[in-house]
Structure 1
Amino acid sequence: MKNNLSAKRVLWRYFTLSYIAVLFNTLFYLKQIHYNDTVTILFGLSMYLFYSFLYLFLVFIPVLILEILVRKVLKRHDRSLVRKQCLAVIFGITIVLFTLVQILIFTDKQLFQLYHFHINGFVWNLITTPGGIESLGSSDSTLISVVMIFAGFFALQVALFVMARSGVLQRVSFVSLKFRYQILFPIFLIFLFGFQSFTYGICHLQAKSAVLSASNAFPLYIPVTFRSWAKKFGISPKRTVQLKFNENENDLQLHYPLQSMQYTWDAPDYNIVWLVAESWRADMLDHEIMPQTMAFAKKSTWFLNHYSGGNGTRMGLFSMFYGLYGNYWFEFLHHRKGPVLIDRLIDLDYQMELFTSAKFSYPEFDKTLFVDIPSKNLHEYTKGLSGWENDRRHVTAMIDFLEHREKGRPFFTFMFFESPHAQYYFPEESIIKTPFLKDMNYARMDLENDITLIKNRYINSCHHLDSQLGRIIHYLESNQLLEKTIVIITGDHGEEFMEKGHWGHNSAYTEEQIRVPLVLWLPKGQPQLVTKMTSHLDIPATIMPLFGTTNPASDYSLGHNLLEPTGRTYTVVCDWDSLCYVNHDYKAVFPLQSYNFHKQTTTTRTDQEIADKKRFFTSSKNDLALLMTEINKFNQ
């Protein structure tokens, strides 16, 4: 019995020491809470203590079960070699599991610090989809730092285990305490869980945002709500403004287009050159940074107030090719349904060669936008080359395609540039802004101190992007192809450099993350500077009529023709689980799932907080009513 009890004590001492280590690791989350009142302070502390315990205890449960099994099965073999070996395996498993918990917490912290979201469905999609990890663009130094940090956590857990087993700390775990003290520990944990759950439930009923927002600080938070219970007792929850979505994907039936597409067969057979740059924000298109693209923009229709349809690549390109809001992405992916624009080009027997310096599988454009284009016509990045090197290689390949194409047939070619994607890639000759951060090591980066140096890298990468766009423009001009070619140059989304408290994209709907350039060259078109609000959503509605479409744009998109004089009164930008309504004065973010209603925010269009949100809802009620029909228009 002594040996059995000793093994049990070792495990619980080890758990106690590891719990203390986890508390240090999760202290970061506690600092993310805005403590507006006493309730929020107590709620935050109870979450901190309980969830730090929960993260560790969830992996400790199977260890305890194994230890009990070994004790019961081998109870007559206290000193046997088999029993010792079994305990050694259990101890080893415990060390590995506790190390994994520490690593996951650290990884989540880094993710939250950089992008303001926890490990979620989007991150899981990134990890599990081919090309997802590559899209992060991490450097060798980042990988080395990560390996060293992970090794450090393993060494820490081994050291804690040695301490637990050495007997130096005789009364570290609650197993060593007398029974009357042992019982206090689970009671305290139950109290912590009950207090934070009850507090959340009451604040959820009263729509008190301070506590509800505080719950977002900790990963895997389990919300407990009392709405059903409250209704039984006649308690009315405080009303909040929500958009109504169909949250059950099994009930959705995709209906796209709404009517069969009709075409005239005497439309011009325009070529299309579609050029999209990763993370290319609106203010990068200027004389100093991008002189060649700027010169072309002045000859074309240049849209100065243009919004992407997403704050990330997935929703940005989806809105660009379909003209639909990002909430439709998942249904189109499920049905493997391509856009009517690509259908039309295939029907017209266009030559097609598409290039990306990333992968067509992440996001899953090979199952959505380009699902009907043969894989042999989809050319991806070359492993081992940086973003700028892949861009140059693919521009050369695109020009080669244009040079050797079948001259009697129209063509469609597409290029996705990676140069402006973090880590922001460029060669020596593209440096126009110094100093810049030499090594983008995500594990050791200090955003507060390094952000100017990081942005200078981005500016240099945009200058390199200009050189590659210039190569294509020059080829089209020198070979008289512009006379019959539509050219679209834009970005998938923007990029923020802490102007509003974020770095990168996919984390907020700030102007820096969602405003992009749009340059549209149309044969026989006149140069124009357009200042009205426009969106990626408008591109299909503009292009389709040029290819003989007689259907109204409302049959296949939620966009407007960019060439019409009237502008839109609002636009919509989406991410993985929310959408942002943007009009000329305001922005309002609405979660796609009702249980996240407390994440609804309202600001000015330029991202400033507003005191009177009622004014927004009063002035925008007609738009919001229309929006609620649009988000389910193509689902029946």
Structure 2
Amino acid sequence: MLKIPRQYWEATSQKIAWGHWFAFFNIVCAILIGSRYAFIADWPNTLIGKIYFFLNILGHFSFIVFALYLLILFPLSFLIKNPYSLRAVGVVLSTLGLTLLLLDTEIFNRFHLHLSFLVWDILINPDNGDLARNWERFFVPMPLIFLIVMLFSRWSWDKLRSLERKKWIRKVAYGLMFCFIASHLLYAWADAYFYRPITVQKANLPLSYPMTARTFLEKNQLLNRDTYLDRIANSGRADAPYLDYPKQPLRYADRADRADKAAMQNILLINISGLRHDAITPADMPSLTAFAANSLDFKNNYSGGNNPNMALVSLFYGLNANYFDSLLNQREQSVWIERMQQLDYQFGLFVTAPFKSPLYNRALFQQQALNFNGLNQQSTQQWLAWHRQQNQQTWFSYLQYDLLGAMAAFAKQDPEAQQQYYRLQLQEIDRQLRQILAELSPDELAKTVVVITADQGYSYQPQNNRDNNYFGRDRIQVPLLIALPNQAPRQIEQISSQMDIVPTLMQQLFQVQNPQRDYSQGHDLLNSTSDDWVFVANQRWNVVVADDGTQYQIDSQGEYREYNAQYQQVNSEKPPLALFLQMFNRDRNFLD
């Protein structure tokens, strides 16, 4: 039997004892640096939320640091015989880790993201020299951190015998263990019962994966799964961040503040859910084709989301789809809708869809009556009856037609039969539009803004319409037609987005004086110079679409993909880092 010398065990035991104190020192340093997240992230407004924050920051960093010690430094205590070499390795690793943590706090401050390989590439991107030099200053404290860690390493080794006699360290260790367990139990409870002051802190700290216990609670009949899922559908995810929307109170020009009734214009917004970007043809939609010839026709327009729920955020708020859950949670109304209410617009809201979005009643139209129909013809007849009762009052009307539901009821056959059935549905929608547009007299049209668009296109591949992560052009590129009085009709090839509708109307009709970044992520389609890219999103993916149709996709975990205009994935060795940086800045603009 191999006999290990006693001297080896004593030396190893001494190195392990030193490693425990060194790990404790790094835990304290990590907590001190990590306390900066308290000044960056949402500060909870309840006592339980504050208690969770402190438990989480103490438990999380103590666990991460001690886990790294067990995985790296503890095994090296057996492999590296020289204690000076072991301490040198520990000092280097500690300095690197604490410096990266300091850098992560600043990244989170600017982008509300944590350090990842993609974010690191953006920071050191040579195409952004100024940005790279700006971040280099966070490595300036590195020598100071190295010096402090090295001094403690030497001091703790020399004082190891006296340190081992300290009794309080065991109580501290138990206390940190309690914080770690308690924070995860608190989060599991908050996640099950939608306690937002806790769940909103889910992504505040790096490498944070709080525990959920829904399955356990369901098995013990402490949680009803259907009720839980229904609450998510109607209130949004419980960990959705708080909003700062609008960023400043909106100011309007003097004439708009006086609410001159004679100068106010009616607004008719028609959303044809499922209308493809290539569907408006004289053969299938003659009425809409004629309307397009007399309006501003944006030929390269994209929805803000890849499903109808998400697209409503871009259509009514001018924000990307990532804000959907936050808007539901906070029941936040659109500044556009709020302004029309202030000016006493009469509302007529008619929706045809198999499922009514919770965004309508919970946030958008909290104070308005919404007419929900199962057939497109019913919505048309209700709108006609409503319009004839307006008596010269200024009005806003939202009319949604549903192509997606009609196609969902179609028995899937060969692609040619499916396309033929889709054309029949287009012709039916066109007949409804003919009645709507014919109802507006020339005098009324002269003071009415008509916007016709779609929240989502339709793919002839059925699986694409059901795939939550599909961003093909047939699904996200949609028509946008705007008839504005005193604007000559023309076709516009510049890339545009549904997020541009709100700032366009707010500036053209309501003379808002705030910069667009105070209330929207879009641009005024008529006055400002827009970017050569647009932003499409859902709850997982952020997608940048270039004006040539190329897509750059990044998900919440940092996975990157690139697609050409035909939605074929291509190999990309270097992501467009400068473009992603712009996207990150714009994406997080309205987080509190």
State if a TM-score over 0.5 links the two structures: yes
Contact 1:246 1:632 in 2 (8 A): no
Residue type of the alignment partner of 1:486: V
CA contact (8 A) 1:312 1:492 kept: yes
1:194-209 correspondence to structure 2 within 5 Å: none
Are the counterparts in 2 of residues 269 and 410 from structure 1 also a CA contact under 8 Å?
yes
TM-score, normalised by the number of residues in structure 2: 0.58
Residue 547 of structure 1 aligns with which residue? 510
Task: Say whether 1:327 aligns with 2:327.
Answer: no
Which residue of structure 2 aligns with residue 459 of structure 1?
A: 423
Is residue 359–residue 380 contact of structure 1 (8 Å, CA) maintained in 2?
no
Output the CA distance in 1 between the equivalents of 2:515 and 2:71.
47
Structure 2 match to 1:621: 577
State the distance in 2 between where 1:293 and 1:305 align: 17
Indicate the percent of aligned positions where both proteins have the same amino acid. 27
Give the SS at the match of 1:488: strand
Tell me how far apart the structure 2 counterparts of residues 468 and 364 of structure 1 sit (CA, whole Å). 25
8 Å CA contact retained: 2:465, 2:475? no
Is 2:371 the partner of 1:379?
yes
1:296 deviates by 0.7
Determine the structure 2 residue equivalent to 1:405. 390
In structure 1, what is the Cα distance between the partners aligned to 2:287 and 2:476?
23
* Structure 2 CA distance for partners of 1:347 and 1:605, relative to 1, 3 Å: same
Q: Which residue of 1 aligns with 2:438?
A: 474
Q: Post-superposition shift, 1:539?
A: 0.4
Alpha carbons 1:310, 1:573 under 8 Å: kept = yes
Find the counterpart in structure 1 of residue 572 from structure 2.
612
* Number of the residue aligned with 2:36: none
Q: Secondary structure at the match of 1:424?
A: helix
Say whether residues 1:580 and 2:569 are aligned partners. no
Alignment match of 1:558 (pick from 521, 531, 550): 521
Partner amino acid, structure 1, of 2:396 = F
* Structure 1 match to 2:587: 631
The within-5 A match list for 1:291-310 is: 291-310=286-305
1:302 is paired with a residue whose SS is: strand
Query: Is 1:253 the equivalent of 2:242?
Result: yes
Cα offset for 1:415? 0.5
Query: Which deviations, in whole Å up to 9, do the C-alpha atoms of 1:474-521 show, x marking residues without a partner?
Result: 111x3521110010000011111139x735664411111100000000
CA distance in 2, matches of 1:475, 1:329: 35
Paired residue type of 2:513: T
Between 255-264 and 455-464, report the one with greater CA deviation: 455-464
Q: Give the drift of 1:564.
A: 2.7
Deviation digits for residues 320-359 of structure 1 (CA, Å, limit 9, x no counterpart): 1111111111111100001000000000001111000127
Cα offset, 1:396, TM superposition: 1.6
- Helix, strand or coil at the partner of 1:605: coil
CA contact (8 A) 2:240 2:326 kept: no
Whether contact under 8 Å (1:360, 1:380) holds in the other structure is no
- Rounded to whole Å, the distance in 2 between the matches of 1:297 and 1:415 is 18
Alpha-carbon distance, 1:394 to partner: 1.4
The 1:566/1:246 distance shift into structure 2, 3 A limit, reads: farther
Q: Aligned residue for 1:417? A: 401
What is the deviation of 1:609? Answer: 2.5
Give CA-to-partner distance per residue, 1:49-98, whole Å, 9 cap, x none. xxxxxxxxxxxxxxxxxxxxxxxxxxxxxxxxxxxxxxxxxxxxxxxxxx
Checking the alignment, whether the CA contact within 8 Å between 1:495 and 1:505 is kept in structure 2 is no
Across the aligned residues of Structure 1 and Structure 2, the Cα RMSD in angstroms comes to 3.0
Which residue among 355, 362, 370 is the counterpart of 1:367?
362
1:242-281 counterparts in 2 under 5 A? 247=203, 252-267=241-256, 268-281=263-276
CA contact (8 A) 1:311 1:505 kept: no
Q: Work out the CA distance in 1 between the residues paired with 2:456 and 2:270.
A: 13
Q: Residue in 2 aligned with 1:8? A: none
Tell me the CA shift for residue 457 of structure 1.
Answer: 1.4
1:480-519 matched pairs, under 5 angstroms: 480-498=443-461, 502-503=464-465, 506-519=468-481
Q: Relative to 1, partners in 2 of residues 1:227 and 1:505: Cα closer, same or farther, differing over 3 Å?
A: farther
- The letter of the residue matching 2:373 is Y
SS of the residue corresponding to residue 446 of structure 2 reads helix
Structure 2 counterpart of 1:440: 410
CA distance in structure 2 between the partners assigned to 1:229 and 1:423 by the alignment: 59
Go from structure 1 to structure 2 and tell me whether the alpha carbon gap of 1:404 and 1:588 turns closer, same or farther (over 3 Å shift): same
CA distance in 2, matches of 1:565, 1:281: 27
Residues 397-406 or 295-304, more deviating: 397-406
Q: Structure 1's 518 and 392: CA in aligned 2 closer, same or farther, altered over 3 A?
A: same
Structure-1-length-normalised TM-score:
0.54
Given residue 501 of structure 2, which amino acid in structure 1 is its aligned partner? I
Deviations 1:163-216 (A, max 9, x none): xxxxxxxxxxxxxxxxxxxxxxxxxxxxxxxxxxxxxxxxxxxxxxxxxxxxxx
Cα displacement (A) at 1:227: 9.6
Instruction: Report if the CA contact (8 A) 2:562-2:571 is conserved.
Output: no
- Tell me the matched-pair count: 370
Query: Whole-Å Cα distance in 2 between the matches of residues 458 and 273 of structure 1?
Result: 25
CA offset at residue 605 of structure 1? 3.5
Change (3 A) 1:421 1:361: closer
Measure the CA separation in 1 of the matches of 2:117 and 2:517.
Answer: 30
C-alpha distance in 2, partners of 1:321/1:285? 23
Q: Contact 1:290 / 1:463 at 8 angstroms: preserved in 2?
A: yes
Equivalent residue letter for 1:353: G
- Report if the CA contact (8 A) 2:312-2:455 is conserved: yes
Indicate conservation of the 8 Å contact 1:325/1:574, yes or no: yes
Q: 1:257 to 1:604 in 2, by over 3 A?
A: same
Q: Report what 2:499 is aligned to.
A: 537
Matched residue type, 1:405? Q
Whether contact under 8 Å (2:494, 2:547) holds in the other structure is: no
In the TM superposition, residue 590 of structure 1 has moved relative to its aligned partner by 1.8
Distance in 2, matches of 1:251 and 1:535, equals: 24
| Structure 2: runs of 5+ lacking an equivalent | 1-66, 76-92, 98-114, 123-200, 205-237, 257-262
Q: What residue number does 1:570 align with?
A: 533
CA 1:229 to 1:570, structure 2 compared with 1: closer, same or farther past 3 Å?
farther
What secondary structure is seen at the aligned counterpart in 2 of 1:547? Answer: coil
Are 1:317 and 2:312 an aligned pair?
Answer: yes
Name the SS of the counterpart of 2:570 in structure 1.
coil
- Secondary structure of the 1:379 match is strand
User: Could you tell me how far apart the structure 1 residues matched to 2:358 and 2:70 are?
Assistant: 41
Q: Secondary structure at the match of 1:497?
A: coil
CA drift of 1:580 comes to: 1.0
C-alpha change, 1:359 and 1:272, in structure 2 (3 Å) is farther
Cα displacement (A) at 1:242: 5.5
